[in-house]
């Protein structure tokens, strides 16, 4: 049974707020307390509250209480990992869909469910909130969670606006709370191995980073293909290279009337000769997840769809001999060596990420993919959107600082110390 009440909720303005009748749960009253009826948060009337005494009875002081807002595409994976993670207690899940909440209750009978995210924000058993909703609602939900004293993990991209990202960073720092972005691929064994190879300088000078992420995919309603797919590769690039681009250029096209751009090519320019290129597409016949990293001494092929040998290192490249300009045939030599595949951990990246978030909350550490990481990627995506509208005109990566700061922030200077 579903009860509807018009109002402005955290998950959307003007949308009906829902309450769910679950087995052995009474109908939740959303009437005004002044009417003489029980208020919405009464312990005896709210199905959300019926499980509270059970959770409190099982609450160890050393665990982190988790509340997840959004149980759509990615939400079930987040709930599963936190439910199975040592050091975490899955306390509550919020979603506008009664059907999805019924699934939560069937699988996790002791997890509280609600259609109103405000229940999670007000819950004293919830120490950290995971925001897994469309990007348009990330800022409001994350900000209200921080204001409620909760640590926050927000799915990618962090926000749809760099100024909003900066405001979340400031809010978290002012309150001493952890703000982390769900850039899952950074926590995979393959990407961790690639980071070690690049940091160890076995590749030599990095010349280029070239990624392809295409499939016959799900057309998103609220974002284009760059915000949906390229953000994955940008997060890997940001972590592996440890450098920030100074400008970007993007081209693309929308092939479905009334929908966002579904095919795009994004180029990032760095100081020096380093360049990165990212091809993303929702309209491809095959699923491809492949990255090439070219170095002066060695090169890497990273194929995320490979079951085991996801990372392959090739001892191939060129050697420059002589110093006669213009005589390419006398200057370039080709080197062909062996290929080897380092062993990489196949532990689910999201599991590692969830554990990292819990450790950061428990010990007040700065996350690997913190708010500044989210800000850098939001700046790139916003600049890419401007470049798209100008048919590939390069855009410098600058933003106006919020709260009256005089000078603009250069992307290359955005870090924890900014």
Q: What is the pLDDT of residue 2?
A: 32
**Residue 211 placed within a domain:** yes
Q: Are residues 102 and 196 in the same domain?
A: no
**Residue 17 sits in a domain of what CATH number?**
3.40.50.720
**Residue 88 placed within a domain:** yes
Render pLDDT for 256-290 as a digit per residue (tens, 0 to 9).
887 889 999 999 999 999 999 999 999 999 999 99
**Residue 367 placed within a domain:** no
Render pLDDT for 332-378 as a digit per residue (tens, 0 to 9).
667 777 899 999 999 999 999 999 999 999 999 999 999 999 999 99
How far apart (Å, rounded) are the C-alpha atoms in residues 217 and 229? Answer: 10
- 8 A C-beta contact, residue 299 and residue 316: yes
Q: What is the pLDDT of residue 256?
A: 85
pLDDT at 47 over 80: no
Render pLDDT for 9-41 as a digit per residue (tens, 0 to 9).
343 333 333 333 333 332 333 333 333 333 334
**CA nearest 138: which of 12, 239, 7?**
12
Q: Are residues 206 and 102 in the same domain?
A: no
What is the percent of the chain with per-residue pLDDT over 90, rounded to a whole number? 70
Q: Are residues 248 and 121 in the same domain?
A: no
How do beta strands 179-182 and 151-155 pair?
parallel
Render pLDDT for 291-328 as a digit per residue (tens, 0 to 9).
999 999 999 999 999 998 999 999 987 776 766 565 55
Q: Which stretches does DSSP call E strand in 102-160?
A: 112-114, 128-131, 151-155
Q: Are residues 89 and 234 in the same domain?
A: no
How far apart (Å, rounded) are the C-alpha atoms in residues 189 and 398? Answer: 33
* Angle, CA 366 vertex, CA 363 and CA 370 arms, to 5°: 135
Render pLDDT for 113-159 as a digit per residue (tens, 0 to 9).
999 999 999 999 999 999 999 999 999 999 999 999 999 999 999 99
**Residue 178 placed within a domain:** no
**Residue 17 placed within a domain:** yes
Q: Give the phi and the psi of residue 156 in degrees, each rounded to 5.
A: -75, 155
Final residue belonging to a domain, choices 317, 340, 363: 340
- 8 A C-beta contact, residue 17 and residue 98: no
Domain total in the chain: 2
pTM of the model: 0.80
Placement of tokens 């590769």 in the chain:
233
The CA-based dihedral angle spanning residues 179, 182, 188, 190, taken in that order and rounded to the nearest 10 degrees: -100
Q: What is the DSSP letter of 266?
A: E
Final residue belonging to a domain, choices 340, 367, 387: 340
Q: Are residues 128 and 190 in the same domain?
A: no
Q: Are residues 237 and 307 in the same domain?
A: yes
What is the percent of the chain with per-residue pLDDT over 70, rounded to a whole number? 77
**Residue 384 placed within a domain:** no
Q: What is the pLDDT of residue 301?
A: 98
Q: Are residues 120 and 14 in the same domain?
A: yes
**Residue 20 placed within a domain:** yes
pLDDT at 73 over 50: yes
Q: 390 CB contacts (<8 Å, ≥6 apart)?
A: none
Q: What is the pLDDT of residue 259?
A: 82
Structural domain boundaries, residue 237: 186-340
Q: What is the pLDDT of residue 336?
A: 79
Provide the CA 173 distance to its chain's centre, in angstroms: 20
What per-residue string of b and e applies to 10-40 under the rule 16 or more CB within 10 Å gives b? bbeeeeebbbbebeebeebbbeeeeeeebeb
217 pLDDT band, cuts 50/70/90, is confident
**Residue 141 placed within a domain:** no
Q: How many CB atoms lie within 10 A of CB 4?
A: 12
**Residue 203 sits in a domain of what CATH number?**
3.30.360.10
pLDDT at 49 over 50: no
């Amino acid at each position: 049974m579903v009860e509807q009440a018009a109002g402005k909720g955290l998950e959307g303005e003007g949308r009906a707020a829902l309450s769910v009748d679950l087995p052995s749960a009474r109908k939740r009253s959303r009437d005004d307390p002044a009417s003489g009826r029980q208020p919405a948060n009464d312990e005896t009337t709210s199905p959300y509250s019926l499980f509270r005494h059970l959770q409190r009875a099982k609450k160890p002081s050393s665990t982190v209480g988790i509340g997840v807002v959004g149980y759509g595409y990615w939400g079930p994976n987040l709930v599963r990992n936190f439910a199975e993670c040592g050091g975490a207690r899955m306390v509550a899940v919020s979603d506008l869909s009664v059907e999805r909440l019924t699934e939560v209750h069937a699988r996790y009978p002791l997890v509280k469910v609600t259609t109103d995210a405000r229940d999670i924000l007000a819950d004293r058993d919830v120490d950290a909130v995971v925001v897994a909703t469309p990007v348009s609602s990330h800022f409001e939900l994350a900000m209200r969670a921080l204001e409620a004293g909760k640590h926050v993990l927000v799915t990618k991209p962090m926000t749809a606006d760099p100024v909003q990202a900066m405001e979340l960073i400031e809010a978290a720092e002012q309150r001493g709370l952890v703000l982390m972005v769900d850039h899952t691929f950074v926590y995979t064994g393959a990407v961790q191995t690639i980071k070690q190879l690049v940091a160890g300088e076995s590749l030599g000078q990095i010349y280029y980073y070239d990624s392809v992420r295409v499939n016959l995919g799900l057309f998103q309603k609220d974002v284009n293909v760059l915000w949906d797919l390229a953000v994955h590769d940008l997060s890997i690039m940001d972590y592996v290279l440890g450098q920030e681009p100074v400008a970007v250029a993007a081209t693309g096209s929308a092939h479905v009337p009334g929908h966002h751009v579904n095919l795009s090519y994004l180029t990032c320019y760095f100081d020096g000769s380093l360049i990165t290129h990212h091809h993303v597409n929702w309209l491809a016949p095959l699923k491809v997840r492949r990255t090439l990293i070219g170095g002066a001494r060695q090169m890497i092929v990273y194929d995320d769809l490979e079951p085991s040998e996801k990372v392959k290192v090739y001892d191939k490249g060129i050697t420059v001999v002589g110093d006669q300009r213009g005589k390419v045939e006398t200057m370039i030599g080709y080197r062909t060596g062996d290929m080897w595949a380092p062993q990489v951990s196949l532990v689910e990246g999201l599991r590692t990420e969830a554990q990292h978030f819990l450790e950061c909350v428990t010990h007040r550490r700065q996350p690997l993919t913190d708010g500044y990481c989210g800000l850098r990627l939001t700046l790139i995506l916003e600049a890419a959107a401007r470049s798209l509208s100008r048919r590939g005109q390069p855009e410098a990566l600058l933003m106006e600082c919020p709260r009256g700061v005089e000078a603009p922030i250069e992307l290359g200077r955005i870090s924890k110390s900014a």
